[in-house]
Structure 1
């Protein structure tokens, strides 16, 4: 007679594979404890790298912008010096309009050499910094300004030379203004303006001669410069 099985000895049906899968999927995730810190560290590294790239790009942009501004300042300053020395030569050239050649040479004696040397120095300084986009304006200005003090000094030829120099002056000024993003200007100079400027310069020189005469430097000989002429 076989023994009666007790409840503890009762063997139930074996669990199916699908039943085990459901139980495993319902359990909490068993991720390692170091997963979250590693993931956070990766994000920190990525953020730092992106921040480095952005900072470097900004620094590079700032460097190029500062260099461009510095170069533009050098060009404008050198251009202003060139124009100023060119105006000095123009003032001397204006003296030829109401005077003959002998009187003109006597009036500018001792002034042509330092004026031309200053102009050449300013032109050389400008040639070292100006951009190639304004080379034609620079060359034209130097040429027309240099011609002002080249003989002969007949009135008609001198007026033409002064007009051409005035046009080149305006073109160079506008080229420099364009580099700064400014609007061009147009300052035409007529023959009447040139003659008026010449008379003003002659008047200033005549005043200087009178002041020298008051200090005992006046000579009884005729004025070789013709500045005392009406």
Structure 2
């Protein structure tokens, strides 16, 4: 990306640092993506929530842009970048230094199409394709799509027909328990379900790859509420 197309600010958010291991070449890396105009990508390194990339749509001088926040939970730092295309969000993710010399698995929440939502689904499909294309091309990696109801059931242990808002609430409540360092991103970037959902997709990918099947077993009261089709 040329310097004229984005701005970057680096912010320190703490002094304490955590180590992921001395040999970076032995790292196991999984990336989960929750795609949308306001979405997120979470990078797991050796089972630890290490990096959170959050983007939010903005309008500047009558032009559409995205504010991208990159929080490294290991170093406790944040970068802020402004980009003007979905493909540049993908480029930001693709060029993370942590991904340069280590193969990784890429997973993305699949698009859910409801009756009457065809136009929205088309826009989301275009956005997602532009974002993922840069990552796939730069790293020569294939993306694996997972239906939202599948990863929620396998990771969160919830009913496939749970209401959307209840599922998002549980995602925010459960994922930091499964990936404790995720709380750093939720504190710094805001308590947004895009982050916890992306982390859930990444953890689902890791478990599928390593054949780990350990769905979370929430307390009965967490699953209260009327059931409806997930979206």
**TM-score using structure 2 length:** 0.25
Task: Indicate the structure with greater helix content.
Answer: 1
Task: Indicate the structure with greater strand content.
Answer: 2
**TM-score using structure 1 length:** 0.26
